[in-house]
Amino acid sequence: MGEWGFLGTVFEGLQDHAPMLGRFWLFLMLVFRIVILGTVASDLFEDEQLEFSCNTLQPGCKQVCYDKAFPISQYRFWVFHIVLIATPSLVFVMYATHHNSKKAKQPKSKRSILQNYIEDRRLRRLYIVNVIFRIAAEVGFLVGQCKLYSFEVPAQYPCNRFPCPYTVDCFTSRPMEKTIFLYFYFGVGVLSAFSSIVELFYSSVKWFCCNLENFDLDDSTCENLQNLRQDLSGKKTTSDSRGFLTVYVILS
């Protein structure tokens, strides 16, 4: 499980910015994917090529038949799936860390409060993009699993590829156990995709379709933002105030 340690660090950083539904997806990812894949699946699929046998001694026949039966190992397919989903999360955590460090260095003022509000909106937009990419990856890999493996690992594969001298029968190890794991991982993928879709709609409505007062800001911050609105709507004629107001109206 040591090779999965860096993903645990990424998901811990993502948890600080994710809503409740996002934390549920993290729970599914950490427990039902990374932990299960690193313990059960690694032992289940480590001998699949070694135990794959064909009823012929023709050199090369076993290798080409295995390649036909398993274009890509299920285990490596799921590892690639996890890494691909974790990549946008890593980008988001890096940006969020930079945002928080920059925010901590700014002096507290009305202008910095508005800048922090604008940065928070950008951070939330980036999180939404992360969720959209996650949904696309989830659906894409579900379709890929159906195309590559269907829902069953057959115990017997007929194969007639060159250099096999005739149609030979090849046999896999523990086909029923692997079939059960296929169903399990597909079910986890469906649940993860569904939770991500719900999270996308929930976060979009909560963060971007509500008024400013509904955001997660304390009372003093809301009061400062309201005062800043009034100041910006006054009759200031300096170019700096007009430019800043334009930026505020556009980004709000």
Residue 165 has what DSSP assignment?
Answer: S
Q: How many CA atoms lie within 13 A of 60 on its CB side?
A: 6
Give CA separation, 190 vs 25, 141, 194, in Å. 11, 10, 6
Nearest CA to 144 out of 178, 182, 115 is that of: 182
- Assess whether pLDDT exceeds 60 at residue 68: yes
**Domain-by-domain residue ranges, the chain?**
2-209, 214-252
Cα torsion 212, 216, 217, 219: sign = positive
Average pLDDT in the chain: 75
Give residue-wise pLDDT tens across range 175-203: 898 899 999 989 999 999 999 999 888 88
231 close to 110: Cβ distance less than 8 angstroms: yes
- pTM surpassing 0.75? no
The 3-state DSSP class for residue 171 equals strand
| Model pLDDT, residue 33 | 85
High-pLDDT (> 90) share of the chain, %: 12
What's the CA gap between 162 and 118, in Å, rounded?
63
The 3-state DSSP class for residue 153 equals coil
Q: Are strands 53-54 and 156-159 parallel, antiparallel or unpaired?
A: unpaired
Domain 2-209 falls in which CATH fold? de novo design (two linked rop proteins) (1.20.1440)
| Model pLDDT, residue 58 | 85
